[in-house]
A and B are shown apart, each in its own frame.
Chain A
C-alpha cells in the first residue's frame, strides 16, 4: 500500500514537468522543429489538437499545434515559424537540453476522422492541403484519415522551395503527395488552390469525388482553399490558430465569427467549416497587436548582441507582414 503510494507520488514528482527539448532542428528559413518532453500531452493527444506554450517566465502563452507525438519517448513535436519576439526567442535562445517553462494541453477538439454528411463507416477521398508550415499540423490528421482507411491526397505548397517542410513525413502519411511552389522552384509551379481545383476536377471527370478537404496554413491560404471548394460543394475544414491567453475558454480572445456567431477557437475549435468562417475578420483580429509585436521584436533585437541588428529586424517584420499574420505572434501551424 505504502509502496504503491510512494510510486504514485514519485510518478507525479517525475511528471513535475520538465518540458525538456529533446531534439531541435532547423527545417528551413526561420522554421524550427522541437521535440519536447511532455508525456501527459503525448499520451492524450489526438490529431488536430494544440498546446499552450510559455517558453520562459516572462513569455507570452502561445498556441502551437501538435505536429507529431512519440508515446514511448513521451514527447510531442512542435514546428515553430519565427515571426515575432516569442517565436524568434524560442528558435534562437533555446537549445537541446533546455526546457520550456510551461506546456499545457492537449487542448481543443480532436479532428473528427469522418466525412461530414456521410455515414461513419463511409470511406472516401480526403484532400489534405498544407500551406507553408501548415504541413506540420496537417501531418497527424492525414495519417489518422489514412489509418482509418480513407484515400489521402496531400497537397503541400509554399512560396519557394526552402519554405517547404515535412515533405518526407507527408509522403509516408498519404496515398499521394503533390508538391507545389508559388515560384516553381520545386514541384509544380502554382498555388495549392490550383492543384486542389484540378484534383477535384480530375476526380469528377473520372466519376469520383473529393469527399472532404482539410486546409491548414496562413489564414489567406485557408480562405482561398475554402473559396475553391465551395462551388464544388466539397466539405472543407480549416484549423485556426488565433491569439489566445489561456486556451481553455476563459479569455475569449480567440473568438472568430463562424456563420455570424462568435465561436471560441480554443474550446469550440480549432477546426471549423471553412465555408462559414469570417476569414477577413479573423485576419484583422490577428493584427490587433501588430505595433506591439514589432516593438517587442525590435527591443529583443537591440538587447541581443549576437544578432545582426537592423537588417534582421526589417526582414523579420516584412516576413511577418507578408505572411499576413501567419497568425500573429505564435503562429506555428
Chain B
C-alpha cells in the first residue's frame, strides 16, 4: 500500500541501488526500502477527476524492481490469473530494458496499462510476495502493479507501441459480444491466430466496465481508448449500437457467416438490497450513478447533457471496488459527507486495499457493521435519511466471511439526500433469454466447459462475468485469452472435419 508520509528516497539513492544491484544478496534485496510513488494530495484531488497516483519515474521503477528476490517457486506468478512472468519482467526493468519487459508482459497480458491500475494485486501477485513476508507487511510487497502500469505508460508515451503480430488470414470469422475487458482480450488474441474478429457492443463506446464503471481518477479513459485503438490497428472491427439478443441474435450471426461466437456480456444487472424506499427520488444503483458520471460525462454537466444529482450528503451501500468508486465520485461531485455503509467490518470488505485507503484519505466516512434497513422519504418523495441497524460479527458464512448479526434495538439514521446501492451485479439475462441451446446456472450465469469455455451450444463460447458472476477485470481477460485459444483449436478442428467430409 502507498504511504506518502514515508520519507522518499533521493535520486542518488535510487541510482546507487540500481548501480549496485548485481552485488546484492537476496537477503539484502529483501531489506531495501520500498520506493513509494507520489499521489495527488487528497484535499486537492477530490476537486478534480485526474488520476490519483502519479506514475513511477523510470529511476523509481528500476529501483523498486531491484527489490524482487526472484524466488524459485514464483508465488507471484501462481497468484496471477494469467500467469504473467513477474520476476522475469522485474529483472528486465531493473536492468533498464523496458522494451523487453513490456514484451514479456504482453506475451500473457494484452492490457497491462489497465491491469496495472485495476487488478487487486494484494490478493494476487503481491499477496504471496516473499518481500512482504520478510517485512511482515503486505504493504511492503514489490509494487508489481505500479511497475506494470509504468511500463505500459512508457511504451505508449515514449517507446512506441509494438503491436503483437497478426496471424496469416484463416478466412474464419468470430463474433465477440461485448467490448469489455474479456471481449477485447479475446478479439486481440483471435487476430494473432489470424481469424477475423468483430466486436458487437450495445453502447456507443468500447471498454465495457472500463468506461462506464471505473472512474477517470482510477483509470484514465485515454488509456482505454489507446488500447482499443491498438486493437483496431490489429484489425479488430467494432460494431456499436448493437444489442445482441435484440438488434441481432446469435442465430443471425451464424447465418451471417460467423464461424464462432464469444459471449462476454458481463454482469450488468444491478442488485438492490430490497428495502423500503428504493423507489424514492435520489436512489441510484451504482451502475446508473457511475454510468452517468463516467460514460455520459455528467461530471461536466451542463457541458455534457446527461445530468446526475449533486447533493451534500450521500450514502453508498456496499464494500467493494464499485462502492469505493461511487463514494469517491460523489465527493468529486461536491458531496460534503459521504458515508460508506457496510454490514461487516473493514477486514471483510472485498475492495482493493488501495481503493479503501484512498477513500479514507479523501474523507469517505466508513460506517462498518451497519445494515441498511430502510430509506426514509421526505414529504414529496425524495430521500431524507437512511436507517441502519448496527451489527456485530458472528460465525463465518460459506465463503468464510464472518456473518453480520444485528444488535437488537441499535438503530441509527443517517441524514442523506442520495443513496447509491453498490451491493453487486448479476449476469445480464439478455443473451441467455434470446438464444436457444444455452444452459444457465441458478445464478443466471452461463454454463461452460472449463477447459474450453464453450457453452452448451456448439461454437458458442463465453467468459468474463457472464460466466464467473461479478468478478475481476483480470479474470475476465484470462477467460478471453483461454477462449481465444479454444476457439482457434475449434475452428481448426472444424476445418479439418469439413475437409474430411468433402473428401
Residue numbers of A with Cβ under 8 A of B are 1-2, 4-5, 8-9, 12, 15-17, 40-41, 44, 54, 58-61, 85-86, 101-107, 245-253, 255-257, 262, 267, 278, 281, 284-285, 287-289, 292-293, 295-296, 299
Closest residue of chain A to B304, judged by CB?
A58
> A296 and B305: CB pair below 8 A?
yes
Closest chain-B Cβ to A105's Cβ sits at a distance in Å of 7
CA distance A260 to B248 in the complex (A): 33
Task: Compute how far the CA of A17 lies from the CA of B285 in the bound complex, rounded to whole angstroms.
Answer: 31
Q: Are B305 and A85 in contact (CB under 8 A)?
A: yes
B127 within 8 A of A: no
Q: In the complex, are the beta carbons of A251 and B270 less than 8 A apart?
A: yes
Q: Is the CB of A245 within 8 A of B428?
A: no
CA distance A285 to B282 in the complex (A): 9
Contacts of A255 in B (CB 8 A): 279
Can you list 19 residue pairs at the A/B interface with Cβ under 8 Å?
A: A4-B257, A5-B173, A12-B198, A15-B239, A40-B248, A60-B296, A60-B305, A60-B306, A61-B296, A86-B305, A105-B246, A107-B243, A245-B306, A246-B203, A250-B268, A251-B288, A267-B429, A284-B381, A296-B301
In the bound complex, how far is the Cα of B243 from the Cα of A257, in angstroms?
26
Nearest opposing residue in chain A for B426, CB measure: A249
Does B400 interact with chain A (Cβ within 8 Å)? no
Q: Within the assembled complex, what's the spacing in Å between the Cα atoms of A101 and B256? A: 25
A267 to B268, CA, bound (A): 13
Contact B257 A101, beta carbon cutoff 8 Å: no
Which listed residue (B240, B270, B297) contacts A58, Cβ 8 A? B297
| Chain A to chain B: the 5 pairs with minimum beta-carbon distance, closest first | A251-B288, A292-B307, A250-B268, A104-B241, A252-B285
User: Is B58 interfacial (CB 8 A cutoff)?
Assistant: no
**A104 and B202 form a contact (CB under 8 A):** yes
> Given the known A-B contacts A12-B237, A86-B305, A248-B202, are A284 and B268 also in contact in the complex, defined by CB atoms under 8 Å?
no
Q: In the complex the two chains form, is B247's CB within 8 Å of A41's CB?
A: yes
10 new A-B pairs (CB below 8 Å) besides A60-B296, A245-B296?
Answer: A8-B173, A44-B246, A58-B304, A107-B246, A246-B203, A248-B202, A253-B288, A262-B272, A281-B279, A292-B302
User: Within 8 Å of chain A (Cβ to Cβ): is B2?
Assistant: no
Cα–Cα distance between A105 and B240 once the two chains are bound (Å):
11
B292 CB-CB contact with A under 8 Å: yes
Shortest Cβ gap from A203 to chain B (Å): 36
Whole-angstrom distance between the Cβ of B461 and the nearest chain A Cβ: 21
Q: B430 and A249: CB pair below 8 A?
A: yes
Closest to A254 in B: B288
- C-alpha spacing A287/B307, complex, angstroms: 13
Q: Are A284 and B380 in contact (CB under 8 A)?
A: yes
Note all chain A residues with C-beta closer than 8 A to B440: none
Contacts of B243 in A (CB 8 A): 104-105, 107, 247-248
Give the interface residue-count category, chain B.
35 or more
A245-B248 contact, Cβ under 8 Å, with A104-B202, A252-B272, A288-B281: no
Whether B355 sits at the interface, judged by CB under 8 Å, is: no
Name the one of B242, B285, B303 contacting A251, with C-beta atoms under 8 angstroms: B285
Residue contact B246 to A106, C-beta cutoff 8 Å? yes
B488 in contact (CB, < 8 A): no
**Chain B residues at the A interface, C-beta cutoff of 8 Å:** 171, 173, 196, 198, 202-204, 212, 237, 239-243, 246-248, 256-257, 268-270, 272, 278-279, 281-282, 284-285, 287-288, 291-292, 296-297, 301-307, 309, 380-381, 428-430
The residues of B that contact A256 with a CB separation of less than 8 Å are: 279
Q: Check A17–B430 contact: CB distance below 8 A.
A: no
* A250 pairs with B247, CB closer than 8 A: no
Choose among B247, B281, B306 the residue that contacts A106 (Cβ–Cβ < 8 A). Answer: B247
Contacting residues, chain A, for B272 (C-beta < 8 A): 252, 262
When C-beta atoms are compared, the residue in chain B nearest to A11 turns out to be B256
| Chain B positions within 8 Å of A247 at CB level | 243
Contact for B241 among A103, A245, A281, CB less than 8 A: A103
Residue of chain A at shortest CB distance from B203: A246
Contact indicator B246/A249 (Cβ below 8 Å): no
Given contacts A246-B202, A267-B430, contact A102 B237 (CB under 8 A): no
Nearest CB in chain A: distance from B376 CB, A: 16
By the criterion CB–CB under 8 Å, are A105 and B428 in contact? no
Quick one: which of A103, A107, A249, A257 contacts B429, CB cutoff 8 A?
A: A249
Min CB distance, B309 to chain A, in Å?
7
What residues of A have a CB within 8 angstroms of the CB of B306 in the complex? 59-61, 245
Asked if residues B241 and A102 are in contact (CB atoms below 8 Å), the reply is yes
Cα distance, A9 to B278, chains bound together (Å): 46
Q: How many angstroms between the C-alpha atoms of A267 and B212 in the bound complex?
A: 19
Most buried by A among B256, B281, B304, B307: B307
**Residue numbers in A under 8 Å from B307 (CB-CB):** 289, 292-293, 296
**Are A58 and B202 in contact (CB-based, < 8 A)?**
no
Structural contact, B270 and A16, CB atoms closer than 8 A: no
Q: What distance in Å separates the Cβ of B420 from its nearest Cβ neighbour in chain A?
A: 11
- Flag if B301 contacts A5 (CB, 8 Å): no
| Given A248-B243, A249-B430: A101 and B279 interface contact (C-beta under 8 Å) | no
Quick one: closest B residue to A38, CB to CB? B241
Set of chain A residues within 8 Å of B309, measured between Cβ atoms: 288-289
CB distance from A230 to the nearest CB of B (A): 22
State the CA gap A284–B377 with chains docked (Å). Answer: 12
Q: Which of B171, B239, B381 contacts A281 (CB 8 A)?
A: B381
Judging by beta carbons under 8 Å apart, are B305 and A59 in contact? Answer: yes
Contacts of B171 in A (CB 8 A): 1-2, 5
A276 → chain B closest CB, angstroms: 14
- Docked Cα-Cα span, A245 to B297, in Å, equals 12
Beta-carbon nearest neighbor of A5 in chain B: B171
Across the interface, do A250 and B270 meet the contact criterion of CB distance under 8 Å?
yes
Smallest CB-CB separation from A104: which chain B residue? Answer: B241
Please give, as numbers and ranges, the residues of chain A lying within 8 Å of B257 by CB-CB distance: 4-5, 8
With both chains docked as a complex, state the minimum distance between the C-beta of B243 and any C-beta of chain A, in angstroms: 6
Q: A102-B240, A281-B279 are in contact. Are A248 and B428 (CB under 8 A)?
A: yes
What residues on B are CB-neighbors of A292 within 8 Å? 301-302, 307
